[in-house]
Amino acid sequence: MITLFRKIRRKLLTQNSFTRYILYASGEIVLVVIGILIALQINSWNQQRKDRQQEQIILNQLHQEFMSNLDQLDEKIGIRKSIIHSSLRLYDYIDHPELRSTDSIYSHVSTLGIAPTFDPIINDLIGSGKLQLLQNQELKERLSLWTSEIIQLTEEEQNWLRFRDDHFMQFVILNFNVRNIDIYRWNNNSISAFLLDRNDSLGIKATPSQHADNLFAILDIPVFENLVARGKLLNEIANLQSYALRKRIVEIISLIEKEMNTKPEPLKTDNE
């Protein structure tokens, strides 16, 4: 093609046809410009294709991470529900002495000693600059707010953790037989919720303490009722924040699935 253009150029110059040469030169420039534009467009298409491939990789990774976050959050909500339930049962024992049972009291006090915390997977898309690869503007906005929304729940979790350590557990240590409480905690398998491998066999055996404690008298101490009430309230507040965060997670997963090429996976609901 270049050789052909050179022959035409020489022929026009030898014929002293300046006007035709100008037209030819203009046409050649146009062809060169068109060629450059085509090359740029091809490069742009290739880059867009690479970006979309990278976007799908990010979306699949985000989908796995937020599904894991949803599972973990549901588990923490369930643990707090158990704490709230135990608080209500202790209310019953405080208000109705005829219902009191030593084993049950130990079990519910043990449950109140748990402090679940949500530790989500956080993908640093903003810091890495990869957030811009996502085309869905709403999804990008939700992801940019994700870290700040976690903080709200973390603050409520820390409120209960501090109260448990500084007040509730201090009362328990001074008034209850902690050895017996720990036995009920192991027997109820409540510790397994905090293990990395849930299939691990704890294999811990212990015998009850030989020292007697008057559980029924402890329930009649007003301070104990106040501690149970405070624990119940703090866990209810933490669960309210958890439900709000759960809604955000479900919304993010829904947006991710709309952008994915794969078939969306079903979400877990409160009823499941």
| SS3 assignment, position 188 | coil
pLDDT value for 263? 44
| SS3 assignment, position 246 | helix
Distance CA 181, CA 246 (A): 32
Residue-wise burial string across 132-146, b where 16 or more C-beta atoms lie within 10 A, e elsewhere: ebbeeeebbebbeeb
Q: In terms of DSSP H, where are the helices of 117-177? A: 125-128, 137-163, 169-175
pLDDT value for 45? 73
**pLDDT tens by residue, 130-155:** 778 888 899 989 998 888 889 989 99
116 CB neighbour count, 10 Å cutoff: 22
User: Hey, what are 240's tokens?
Assistant: 């309210």
Distance CA 262, CA 145 (A): 26
Contact status, residue 180 vs residue 214, Cβ threshold 8 Å: no
pLDDT value for 262? 45
pTM: 0.75
pLDDT-flagged residues of the chain (< 50): 12, 191, 194-196, 262-272
On the 0-12 / 13-18 / 19+ scale of CB atoms within 10 A, 262 is exposed
pLDDT value for 9? 53
**pLDDT tens by residue, 79-99:** 999 999 999 999 999 999 999
pLDDT value for 36? 75
Long-range contacts of 135-138 (CB under 8 A, 24+ apart): 135/55, 135/259, 136/255, 136/258, 136/259, 138/255
Distance CA 178, CA 172 (A): 7
25 CB neighbour count, 10 Å cutoff: 12
Distance CA 239, CA 261 (A): 34
Long-range contacts of 209-217 (CB under 8 A, 24+ apart): 209/177, 209/179, 209/180, 211/177, 213/175, 213/176, 213/177, 213/180, 215/100, 215/102, 215/105, 215/106, 215/176, 216/97, 216/100
Return phi, psi of residue 144, to 5°. Answer: -70, -25
Residue 241: half-sphere exposure toward Cβ, Cα within 13 Å: 21
List the one residue out of 179, 181, 159 whose CA is nearest residue 111. Answer: 181
